[in-house]
Amino acid sequence: MRTIRFALGALFLTVMAASTFAQTETTYEEAPEAPRRAMTFEDLYAMGRVSDPQPSPDGQQVLYVVTQYSLENNTSNSDIYAVSLKDNAVRRLTDAPRGDNTPRWSPDGKSIAFISSREGGPQIWTMKPDGGNQRKLTSISTGAGGVAWSPDGAHLLFVSSVYPDCADDDCNKRRDDAKEKDPCKAMVIDRLPYRVWNEWKDGKVSHVFVMPANGGTPKDVTPGEFDTPPIDLGGHQDYAVSPDGAEIAYVKNTEKLVVASTNNDIWIAKLDGSGARCISAANKACDNQPVYSPDGKYIAWRAMTRPGYEADKYDLIVYDRRTQKTMKMTDGMDRSVDEVLWSPDSRRILFTAQDGPYISLFEVPVAGGDILRVLKGIITMKYKEGDKIIPIELGTLRSSFRLLSDGHTLVYLGQRMNYPAEVMSSYYEDGQVKDMRQHTFTNKKLLDTLDLREPESFTFKSADGTPIQAWILLPPGFDKTKKYPAIFLVHGGPQGVWGDEFHYRWNMELFAAPGFVVVAINPRGSTGFGQAFTDGVNGDWGGKPYKDIMAGVDHALKTYPFIDKERIGAAGASYGGYMMNWILGNTNRFKAIFTHSGVYDLRSKYGGTEELWFPEWEFQGTPWSNPAMYEKWSPSRLAKNFKTPTLVSHGQLDFRVVVEQSMQLFTALQRQGVESKFLYFPDEGHTILKPRNSQLWYREFHAWFKKHLMK
């Protein structure tokens, strides 16, 4: 049994970062600060969205991607930037009308490979570190994505969806051209899955390709009828090359009925794809995200234990390539492993995990020993702007951790609910974070004009005494002497979490902007509070989680006198939408409800979804093997109780929770004369992504709650 030790005794850590802006020196006058205003949807979509930090091999600079949205054109575009870790000087490296993303340094730092859609769909391009000499490297008809270098710099890997019986790209192109020209668009389907998330499978599978780094014909190294990476439950990257460039590790599920199986496995083969064999066959649950140690002795990956359960705890596994034995590194740790990083000397592994509502960073020695929590919670970073000290509190260290070759510099994205993600770094030594610096300030000018409130975390006890964490966010211009309407949010999953992050699709600051208090509760089923807590929703969708939410509502109304208990609403999507539908049948205490992509009837939902392991685990069988469970927790059973005004929202291309779920709900509401609207998106899936559609979505959300809570 391993012990978890804490590097930080308290939840709060304050560090100093002497950062300056690269472009100009900022001066300050002794003048009152201009009043800040509430954020608008247009502000949200004017923000540059920072992602995918990639430090250079020499540790001097970081590549990253900024995505901008155009409401006028209803489009988005991504470009690649570089920032100096020394002085924060920013350079824009690409400026194409189509998206550029996935920048990856060559091991020698002399070249950058990236994916661009500027010519002939998504293809691999390369450029010099200064952005010069941009040239197209691939012209594969099925497109390229997820580019990665082999550690020796000799090869590039990428993924593409191809017809499994095609031996070359000419075959794939002929097949696609014939489909395009054929006036009959019907499909003959003889197996599951025939669609995934929001796309039809159309006979293609994802394969990994390898090609020479200087160009040439790509080779399919994972041929056959199975997807690599798998259709779902994948890691951050599910293919990697050994340090000597001789071997590839990748993830594949070879079960006959993939839609009912979570048995993704780790496979290894020679770089040309020959000699493939599975090295995780003993585990019938999910294995993914293989990462070779720098010295080539080990492969680390993540593994679940319970077959069929997509929200099981991920443990950290280390495979000794010489002895072919595996070691579980996270016994005794009740958190699920996310990103995995090797130290340059291959003696330690760093990994992230959801830890309460935050992302924490942990360390474990490969030779064995205690697990050390390196970083948790809210970090108050202070940086210099001219001669002024600016504090920023950063909560969720969300993702994309990278450890530089010096073994001490961590690069990552930092953000909070009131602060969008930016590139950060920390000095790391002996399990301690010594320093924190912010290097990009993409949205500073806009953020300086907005009244974005810091979230407050609170904890209460549910009906059975279980502690439940939640967030409260106050509206702009808040006055504690006034009464405010409140909206209570329920997250999806159900194995998800409301974290301290700047979310663009469910942005709490924007929800609060018209004058609403926003309360987001993490009930049973939420991740980061221990696996037993996550398991608490299994087979009990409308049971303990519902009681947790109602107890949270009671606690908030009792604790925060500025909330008007006569003007409260509720909103949620996916499982959160299910909970809205369940609330409709169980209580009339809310004045209005917003339900997006919500499950309404569990039996018909089973037949429409594209992943069957999920309902079969959650409801302990199929609708014909366990009909009582599906009946018990279906909101449709309680339709006669519906009375609350409800706004229903759904996308036609949602194959996870099919649109007929919301159609059934809307019909039941309308048939009984309950005030209701149906916000229908013919060109969206489970989430609303297009700028104009998102604009309408937020506008209708606000209008609905203004009408019913601000009378």
| Residue-level pLDDT at 378 | 61
381-409 pLDDT, tens digit per residue, is 555 556 665 555 554 556 789 999 999 99
Residues of the chain with pLDDT under 50: 1, 6-32, 395
User: Cβ(474)–Cβ(483) under 8 Å?
Assistant: no
Instruction: Report the distance separating Cα 210 and Cα 314, nearest Å.
Output: 29
Instruction: Report the distance separating Cα 155 and Cα 172, nearest Å.
Output: 23
Copy the structure tokens of residue 249. Answer: 């590790």
**pTM for this entry:** 0.93
What residues does each domain of the chain span? 456-709
Pick the CATH number of 456-709 from 3.30.70.580, 1.10.3720.10, 3.40.50.1820, 3.30.200.20: 3.40.50.1820
Instruction: Report the distance separating Cα 181 and Cα 447, nearest Å.
Output: 50
Of 216, 85, 80, which is closest to residue 155 (Cα–Cα)? 216
Strand positions, DSSP E, 491-543:
517-522
Instruction: Report the distance separating Cα 321 and Cα 452, nearest Å.
Output: 51
User: Cβ(321)–Cβ(494) under 8 Å?
Assistant: no
| Residue-level pLDDT at 525 | 98
Tell me the longest C-alpha to C-alpha distance in the chain. Answer: 73
**Antiparallel, parallel or unpaired: β 358-365 and 371-375:** antiparallel
| Residue-level pLDDT at 286 | 98
- List the 298-303 sheet strands across, edge first: 287-292, 298-303, 315-320, 326-328
| Residue-level pLDDT at 392 | 55
Cis status, amide bond into 635, omega within 30 of 0: no
| Residue-level pLDDT at 376 | 73
Q: Any bridge partners for residue 395, and if so which?
A: none
User: Cβ(451)–Cβ(475) under 8 Å?
Assistant: no
Q: Any bridge partners for residue 104, and if so which?
A: 113
Q: How far is CA 25 from CA 30, 387, 437, in A?
A: 17, 10, 18
Instruction: Report the distance separating Cα 422 and Cα 395, nearest Å.
Output: 12
